[in-house]
């Protein structure tokens, strides 16, 4: 499919992340004005409330204070009908409605939806192998279950923030050398994880198939799972990460729908061991999305979402397999997405090999983990023929730890 032309001329460039082929959903405000639902198109945002007469949904949905949850609740058929109406409204042969546009440079972006619950997976094979090698040695890098189930943990919806939110360096119990007594201090090994988050748009109550899970995913966002490695190394056994991952998780401000990504579907990598039947691939459910990480504007890694070993549909099917109910607005982090080479690593832990082999920045300084004042950015786009479907940047700046919060 080629670029679809719009009357919004900035949407017709091969470089814009937001052509008519994309139509990502966000929430914005201008000045002291209210939060409003918007759709990115070229350099602008379409204020959907101002075109509600042309939209095939109740106008309450387009004024939902929770964000895009209301549209999700209408179900998959309505998602598609709504997108078709938007495409017609913004296409080159429709009457222009410049009165319904706001320049992105004038807008502040907010959480695009209300997160019901948040789960984070560990489904990137290169990442799991790298981290397992560092934490447990090469022989025990992948636990015996890893090639059979998408490993995950239940995170905190309360910790999810939108791109642009400052992140405060956390305090925690830090592992001492050689399992000596831990100490209480600000994390010295604060890190990012480059991930893609899948948003559940249809609720379910009981086990669902991989095919059904695929249909239930409304869209995707970039996701940075901020991680305190020194807290994590001490606390993670035997129940997994806890405070090391609870400070914040940043998501991108734009939800790119599964429909917009459909032309970029691809298969998961070759299975090393056959999956049990209920988790087997039934079609291409991963996506070819180029991803990169910047540190203070300098690119330090680039990889691709297709490196995932499990698709979001497989993760969601597995999540429901015990009968776990899923809600509209549940967020599933993919797990850190690394690739086979050093420059493909999606965390500083891997890029600096635990601090043993620091990354060399362009100015010649070695770097292992995040410094106060650093701005970390995640970027992603699927590359089409003469157009791209972009996510917009997902960034956050790390601020110094506060004074000891327990010193009275
Ligand atoms: Mn993670």
Q: What percent of the chain has pLDDT over 90?
A: 96
179 C-alpha to ligand 1 centroid (Å): 24
What residues make up the domain containing 306?
A: 118-399
Catalytic site residues? 127
Q: Average of pLDDT values for 42-71?
A: 97
Q: What's the domain count of the chain? A: 2
| Dihedral-angle region of residue 164 (phi above 0 means left; psi in -120 to 50 means alpha; beta otherwise) | left
249 with 391, same domain: the answer is yes
| Dihedral-angle region of residue 178 (phi above 0 means left; psi in -120 to 50 means alpha; beta otherwise) | left
What is the distance between the alpha carbons of residues 355 and 226, in angstroms, rounded to a whole number? Answer: 17
DSSP state string for 10-75? GGGSSS-S--TTT--EEEEEETTPPPEEEEEETTEEEEGGGGGGGSSS-GGGGG-TTSTHHHHHT-
321 C-alpha to ligand 1 centroid (Å): 21
Q: Mean pLDDT, the chain, as a whole number?
A: 97
Give whole-number Cα distances, 211 to 215, 237, 282, 314, 380, in Å.
7, 34, 7, 9, 25
164 with 40, same domain: the answer is no
Q: What is the pLDDT of residue 177?
A: 77
Q: Average of pLDDT values for 97-101?
A: 98
Exposure of 145 in the CB half-sphere (CA atoms within 13 A): 6
Give backbone dihedrals phi and psi of 319, rounded to 5 degrees, phi first: -60, -35
269 C-alpha to ligand 1 centroid (Å): 20
User: Which of 12, 5, 10, 46 lies closest to 27 in space, CA to CA?
Assistant: 46
For tokens 């891997």, what's the residue?
350
283 with 187, same domain: the answer is yes
| Position 3 in a domain | no
- pLDDT tier at 264 (50, 70, 90 boundaries)? very high
Give whole-number Cα distances, 208 to 80, 130, 196, in Å.
22, 32, 22
User: Which of 378, 328, 391, 290 lies closest to 71 in space, CA to CA?
Assistant: 328
β-bridge pairing 118-121 and 331-333: parallel
Q: What is the pLDDT of residue 306?
A: 98
86 with 122, same domain: the answer is no
Give whole-number Cα distances, 8 to 181, 187, 384, in Å.
61, 47, 19
Q: Average of pLDDT values for 273-281?
A: 97
| Position 408 in a domain | no
- pLDDT tier at 135 (50, 70, 90 boundaries)? confident
pLDDT over threshold 90, residue 314: yes
Q: Which two tokens stand for residue 205?
A: 């109550």
Pick from 64, 93, 110: which residue ends a domain?
110
Q: Provide the Cα torsion 92, 93, 97, 101; round to 10°.
A: -20
Pick from 80, 110, 140: which residue ends a domain?
110
313 C-alpha to ligand 1 centroid (Å): 17
| Position 13 in a domain | yes
211 C-alpha to ligand 1 centroid (Å): 25
299 C-alpha to ligand 1 centroid (Å): 20
For tokens 């990115």, what's the residue?
40
Residues 253 and 392: beta-carbon distance below 8 Å: yes
Helix (H) or strand (E) holding 119: strand 118-121
Output b/e per residue, 51-84; b: 16+ Cβ within 10 A. bbeebebeeebbebebbbbbbbbbbbebbeebbe
| Dihedral-angle region of residue 231 (phi above 0 means left; psi in -120 to 50 means alpha; beta otherwise) | alpha
pLDDT over threshold 90, residue 136: no
* CATH number of the domain to which 57 belongs: 2.30.30.230
Q: How many CB atoms lie within 10 A of CB 167?
A: 22
Angle at 208 between CA 279 and CA 83, to 5 degrees: 105
335 C-alpha to ligand 1 centroid (Å): 5
User: Which of 247, 119, 238 lies closest to 172 in space, CA to CA?
Assistant: 247
* CATH number of the domain to which 258 belongs: 3.90.850.10
164 with 78, same domain: the answer is no
User: Which of 348, 331, 319 lies closest to 223 in space, CA to CA?
Assistant: 331
pLDDT over threshold 80, residue 5: yes
User: Which of 162, 167, 197 lies closest to 316 in space, CA to CA?
Assistant: 197
Q: Which two tokens stand for residue 189?
A: 């090994």
Q: Please state the three-class secondary structure of 216-242 as a single string.
A: HEEEEEEEEECEEHHHHHHHCCCCCCC
Q: What is the pLDDT of residue 180?
A: 81
153 with 31, same domain: the answer is no
For 151-187, write each residue's pLDDT tens digit.
999 999 999 999 999 999 999 999 877 778 899 999 9
Residues 86 and 23: beta-carbon distance below 8 Å: yes
275 with 379, same domain: the answer is yes
Q: What is the pLDDT of residue 14?
A: 97
123 C-alpha to ligand 1 centroid (Å): 9
169 with 189, same domain: the answer is yes
């Amino acid at each position: 499919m080629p670029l679809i032309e719009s009357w919004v001329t900035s949407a017709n460039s091969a470089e814009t992340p937001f052509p008519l082929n994309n139509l990502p959903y966000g929430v914005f405000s201008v000045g002291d004005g209210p939060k409003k639902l918007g759709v990115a198109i070229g350099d602008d945002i379409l204020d959907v409330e101002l075109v509600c007469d042309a939209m095939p949904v109740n106008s309450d949905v387009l004024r939902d204070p929770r964000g895009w949850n209301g549209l999700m609740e209408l179900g998959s058929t309505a998602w598609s009908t709504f997108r078709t109406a938007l495409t017609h409204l913004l296409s080159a042969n429709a009457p222009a409605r410049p009165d319904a546009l706001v320049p992105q440079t004038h807008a502040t972006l907010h959480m695009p939806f209300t997160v019901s619950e948040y789960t984070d997976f560990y489904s990137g094979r290169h990442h799991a192998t790298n981290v397992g090698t560092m934490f447990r040695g090469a022989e025990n890098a992948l636990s015996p279950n890893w090639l059979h189930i998408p490993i995950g943990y239940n995170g905190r919806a309360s910790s999810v923030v939108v791109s642009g939110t400052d992140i405060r360096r956390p305090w925690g119990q830090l592992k001492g050398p050689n399992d000596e007594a831990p100490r209480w201090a600000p994390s010295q090994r604060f890190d990012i994880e480059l991930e893609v988050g899948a948003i559940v748009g249809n609720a379910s109550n009981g086990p669902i198939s991989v095919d059904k899970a695929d249909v239930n995913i409304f869209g995707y966002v970039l996701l940075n799972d901020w991680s305190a490695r020194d807290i994590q190394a001490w606390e993670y056994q035997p129940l997994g990460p806890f405070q090391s991952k609870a400070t914040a998780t940043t998501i991108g401000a734009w939800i790119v729908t599964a429909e917009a990504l459909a032309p970029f579907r691809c298969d998961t990598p070759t299975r090393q061991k056959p999956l049990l039947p209920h988790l087997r691939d039934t079609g291409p459910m991963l996506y070819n999305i180029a991803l990169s990480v910047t540190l203070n504007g300098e690119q330090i890694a680039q990889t691709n979402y297709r490196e995932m070993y499990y698709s979001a549909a497989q993760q969601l099917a597995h999540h429901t397999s015990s009968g776990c109910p899923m809600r509209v607005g549940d967020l599933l982090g993919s797990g850190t997405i690394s690739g086979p080479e050093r420059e493909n690593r999606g965390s500083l832990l891997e890029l600096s090999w635990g601090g043993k082999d620091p990354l060399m920045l362009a100015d010649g300084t070695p770097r292992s983990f995040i410094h106060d004042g650093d701005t970390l950015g995640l970027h992603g786009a699927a590359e089409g023929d003469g157009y791209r479907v972009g996510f917009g940047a997902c960034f956050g700046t790390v601020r110094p730890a506060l004074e000891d919060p327990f010193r009275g």
